[in-house]
Structure 1
């Protein structure tokens, strides 16, 4: 019987690493390394600390979104 042949399919798997954009992997820096000397200086630093924490949280959210984690 010619024409009655079977074709064998071979599946090959390759592992590949999928990395997020490098901007999501940068270290979260602290804006200050020393304690404020006065109450006024502490108050003036509050918006800067808030912005730094917000930026760090956005990186974490971006990583979660990249890897498909749902926000709780």
Structure 2
């Protein structure tokens, strides 16, 4: 399950818009919104692309996409 607040923070830090990210991922903005808000799961390729686009370390990526929400 995606940690929405951490992903939103990473997007904000990157300075990229969600529209730009959606375009680069080949997704509609609505689809990206659903994925960010855990209505639809991210695919592995999308996670790797976001890691590169948002300049996330492997640890940051794992915390956002693979961690349990209550864990630190």
- TM interval, short-chain normalised: under 0.3
Relative to the length of structure 2, the TM-score reads 0.22
Q: Normalized per residue, which structure has more helix?
A: 2
RCO higher in structure (CA 8 A, sep ≥6): 2
Q: Which has the larger radius of gyration?
A: 1
